[in-house]
Amino acid sequence: MTDLKQNLSTFSARFNQDIQTYFPRPDGAEKRVVEAMAYSVMNGGKRLRPYLLCQCAALFGIEYQTALPAAVSLEMLHSYSLIHDDLPAMDNDDLRRGKPTCHKKFDEATAILAGDGLLTYAFRVLSSALVIRPEIRLTLVQLLSEAAGAFSGMVAGQTLDLYAQPTGSSAGDENIIARLEEMKTGRLLRYACEAGAVLGQAPQEQRQALITYSRKIGQTFQISDDILDQEGDQNLVGKTLHKDNAQNKFTIVSRFGIEKARKLAVQLTDEAVSSLDIFGSKAEPLQELARFIINRHF
């Protein structure tokens, strides 16, 4: 058994120091947007995606320093999505990670620009990472842009989240929920795992095992997010709760009830854990992470 909490907190401390070095301190009016970008990145996220990416890469002997720029760019992109999701035109939230959201701390225009700044900077950081071979870098840039994008990526998922309408049938609604969650939440988690495999030039079977794992934890992650929305402690979760029902959101929990969602999450976690059996004991930190996701309180 590995100690996930200890691993994650050691990782986060190191990663936080490293990601901070990516933010210069310009003078002049542009200082404001860089401050807003750094505020949103450095305000206490769990760093699950960078941890996943580095752990998946480690399965293939890739060291932290090599995986770091890919992990940094992923966390920047994730932070952009949170800033934009919190805006009044989207989820309209005042709290993120227990602190004022970017548009509350600064203002709406600055928050939009900070999101734009992080999205573009993510690709600059990744594409200019000399520790990663150019052809691998290019593959990562392609995968990240697909995962984040408007066709089957996070932007598509967010669009469904905002505009999908009930279909009138359980099967139809279930299908929308599955697509929405796969794209909105799942694609970045999948990218984190796949990037580790790409960095490690993994054989297809092993890359596929990581993709399967990422799908299962992605669904579990979303279910636990929805359960926290209904039953969580706002001080621990760090954002406004009880919004899904109020906004009539498409979620497994709001449509099918907490008990069905919990059972599904247990089954998905077991499947996530066994999908990594081919890696033997090396995969224990990732298997522990799957168990953490289902039990998380924040």
Give residues in contact with ligand GRG (CB under 6 A): 45-46, 48, 81-82, 84-85, 97, 154-155, 158, 184-185, 222, 225
Nearer to ligand GRG, 43 or 279 (CB): 43
Task: Give least dist CB 84 to ligand GRG, A.
Answer: 4
Asked if 18 and 72 touch (Cβ cutoff 8 Å), the reply is: yes
CB 294 within 8 A of CB 231: no
Q: Which two tokens stand for residue 210?
A: 């990581």
The CB-of-137 to ligand GRG minimum distance in angstroms stands at 24
Q: Which is nearer to ligand GRG, 97 or 207 (CB)?
A: 97
Which runs of consecutive H residues, i.e. helices, occur in the chain? Answer: 4-20, 31-41, 48-58, 64-86, 102-105, 108-127, 134-148, 154-163, 170-181, 187-199, 204-231, 234-237, 243-246, 252-256, 258-275, 284-295
Smallest distance, ligand GRG to C-beta of residue 243, A: 9
Q: Which residue's Cβ has the minimum distance to ligand GRG?
A: 45
Q: How many CB atoms lie within 10 A of CB 31?
A: 12
The CB-of-77 to ligand GRG minimum distance in angstroms stands at 10
| Of 289, 298, 231, the residue nearest 262 (C-alpha) | 231
Residue 128 CB, shortest distance to ligand GRG, in Å, is 24
Instruction: Please tell me the distance from the alpha carbon of residue 110 to that of residue 93, in angstroms, as a whole number.
Output: 16
Nearest approach in angstroms of CB 160 to ligand GRG is 11
Say how far apart CA 251 and CA 174 lie, in whole Å.
9
Q: Which residue, 173 or 181, has its beta carbon nearer to ligand GRG? A: 181
Q: In this complex, which beta carbon is closest to ligand GRG, that of residue 48 or of residue 147?
A: 48
Please say which residue, 74 or 132, places its beta carbon nearer to ligand GRG: 74
* Length of the chain, in residues: 298
Q: Give the residue from 180, 169, 224, 196 showing the smallest Cα distance to 283.
A: 196
Instruction: Identify which of residues 48 and 286 has a Cβ nearer to ligand GRG in the complex.
Output: 48
Q: In the bound complex, what is the minimum distance in angstroms from residue 79's beta carbon to ligand GRG?
A: 7
Judged by CB, which is closer to ligand GRG: 55, or 222? Answer: 222
